[in-house]
Amino acid sequence: DPAHSRRGRALALAGATLFTTSDTMLGIRKFVWKDAPDRLESAVMATYTLGQLLLSEGTLALLEAPAAE
């Protein structure tokens, strides 16, 4: 079913984007913004957690998609 494949790819892409955003915020906090507010850690954890969830869901959706013939 192509819909499963599209859904899986979209979820995985969104997850990868959020995961990259999380790592970018960590880098900015460590190397650029030395006195970053504490709430930045909440944003890092939120994007990291949601990114991991979406990557997992995308992978599962792709694994459940029937193989192309």
* 64/11 Cα distance (integer angstroms): 14
- pLDDT tens-place string over residues 7-65: 999 999 999 999 999 999 999 999 998 888 989 999 999 999 999 999 999 999 998 87
Q: Helix (H, G, I), strand (E, B), or coil: what is residue 33?
A: coil
Count Cβ atoms within 10 A of the Cβ of residue 21 and give its class: 0-12 exposed, 13-18 middle, 19 or more buried: middle
Greatest pairwise CA separation for the chain in angstroms: 55
Residue 67 banded pLDDT, cuts 50, 70, 90: low
What pLDDT sits at residue 34? 82
pLDDT at 16: 97
pLDDT in the model for residue 38 = 87
The pLDDT score that the predictor gives to residue 57 is 96
